[in-house]
């Protein structure tokens, strides 16, 4: 899973007010909640460059998950695989059509007032840019300076200036106080271009040997594969757990409550104490009302909510956004894979020929591929061209 997806948990808990949380944060946070409860061995994807220790609210989240083995960290690829992945990304973006596609994606995201603009606004307002800068040393990957310069139509020297500037705390803080300035706009676009290109790198070094859950900003229409959807109770329960955490009074307390809820839910699922099947004892589909009631009962039993009145108000906002469609879509791996030896053996190589629907808990039985969030499709920024 890319770090941008885990950051949406931080965003939801930091914003707190459910009416102000943008859809990406709601949907991704619900899916990540569900994934960490029902799936094992979820790991953070490695960065193309150096990555240091997390800090601030992001550290509050990741440290707790790592210490309890709910989340792991994927080992960086060996130098040969890393170099080959970087080379493939660079060769792809040397093609005019690929470069134009990336430019269009940046334009679409910049025009997205529903998700991207609120997402960027939160990153700056919450000073998460500073955390990113401390952890990665910059907001702009110098490994892709040539490609970023090409897509933004600026000089490589300008990209390196932005990379250097964003690695110096005092300069970055000064810039963040002037979000209407020209340099801020350049850095925001370089930051976005870097994130999108970095996503392609992740696909090549991870998606060819594992399943990579990617942030919605990196999702594009593909040869769509199989759906892995949560049943009604699972989807409602994940939303209920997140809603319960949001009733806490501070961002740090919300993150702690969410982590505690995920850990308790994992234990309850593992020991069979939590009944989260989407059917009745007679195997008939369960109604929406019964599914919601059962999920809420389970959430309260695990003590993830105390104020029922506020709990239901928070949950109602989540349901309006559409988190009951929670789940994942497993797409075929990246075509320009770094290693091709697994193609013939991977069950994912057959995806797209016959599309099937599965339970989210069955995802681990399938082979490598790129995983998108099912509910984000109706918030797509793609425009006809």
Residue numbers of the domain that contains 158: 3-219
pLDDT in tens, 38-48: 888 899 998 88
More confident residue, 384 or 137: 137
E strand residue ranges, the chain: 43-44, 72-73, 211-213, 226-229, 327-331, 357-359, 369-373
Bridge pairing between strands 226-229 and 72-73: unpaired
0.85 exceeded by the pTM?
yes
Do the domain assignments include residue 316? no
Q: Does residue 229 lie within any of the structural domains?
A: no
Q: Is the pLDDT of residue 280 over 60?
A: no
Report the alpha-carbon distance of residue 113 to residue 118 in Å, rounded.
Answer: 7
Q: Which of 202-211, 225-234, 311-320 has the lowest mean pLDDT?
A: 311-320
Distance, in Å, from the CA atom of 30 to the CA atom of 36, rounded to the nearest integer, reads 10
What value does the mean pLDDT take over residues 255-281?
A: 82
pLDDT, greater one: 284 or 159: 159
Percent of the chain with pLDDT over 90: 49
Domains of the chain: total: 1
Q: Does residue 58 lie within any of the structural domains?
A: yes
213 neighbors 112 (Cβ within 8 angstroms) = no
Task: Give the dihedral sign, CA 8/10/13/17.
Answer: negative
Residue 144: inside a domain: yes
| Structure-model confidence comparison of residues 333 and 324, the more confident one | 333
């Amino acid at each position: 899973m890319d770090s941008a997806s885990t950051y949406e948990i931080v965003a939801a808990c930091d914003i707190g007010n459910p009416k102000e949380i943008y859809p990406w944060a709601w949907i991704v946070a619900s899916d990540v909640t569900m994934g960490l409860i029902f799936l094992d061995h979820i790991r953070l994807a490695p960065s193309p460059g150096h990555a240091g220790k997390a800090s601030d609210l992001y550290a509050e989240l990741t440290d707790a998950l790592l210490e309890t083995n709910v989340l792991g960290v994927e080992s960086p690829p060996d130098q040969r695989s890393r170099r080959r992945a970087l080379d493939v990304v660079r060769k792809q973006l040397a093609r005019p059509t690929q470069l134009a596609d990336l430019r269009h994606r940046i334009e679409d995201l910049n025009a997205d007032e529903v998700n991207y603009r609120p997402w960027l606004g939160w990153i700056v307002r919450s000073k998460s840019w500073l955390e990113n800068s401390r952890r990665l040393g910059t907001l702009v990957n110098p490994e892709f300076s040539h490609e970023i310069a090409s897509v933004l139509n600026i000089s490589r020297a300008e990209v390196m200036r932005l990379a250097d500037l964003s690695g110096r705390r005092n300069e970055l803080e000064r810039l963040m106080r002037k979000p209407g300035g020209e340099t801020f706009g350049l850095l925001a676009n370089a930051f976005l271009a870097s994130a999108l290109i970095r996503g392609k790198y992740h696909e090549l070094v991870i998606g060819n040997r594992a399943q990579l859950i990617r942030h919605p900003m990196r999702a594009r229409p593909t040869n769509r594969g199989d759906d892995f959807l949560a049943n009604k109770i699972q989807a409602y329960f994940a939303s209920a757990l997140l809603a319960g955490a949001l009733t806490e009074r501070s961002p740090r307390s919300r993150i702690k409550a969410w982590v505690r809820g995920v850990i308790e839910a994992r234990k309850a699922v593992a020991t069979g104490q939590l009944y989260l099947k989407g059917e009745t004892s007679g195997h008939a589909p369960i109604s929406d009302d019964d599914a919601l009631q059962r999920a809420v009962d389970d959430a309260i039993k695990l003590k993830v909510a105390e104020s029922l009145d506020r709990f239901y108000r928070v949950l109602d906002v989540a349901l309006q956004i559409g988190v009951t469609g929670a789940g994942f879509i497993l797409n075929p791996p990246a075509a320009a894979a770094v290693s091709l030896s697994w193609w013939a053996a991977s069950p994912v190589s057959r995806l797209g020929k016959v599309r099937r629907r599965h339970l989210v808990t069955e995802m681990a039985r399938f082979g490598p591929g790129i995983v998108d969030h099912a509910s984000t499709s109706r918030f797509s920024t793609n425009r006809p061209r």
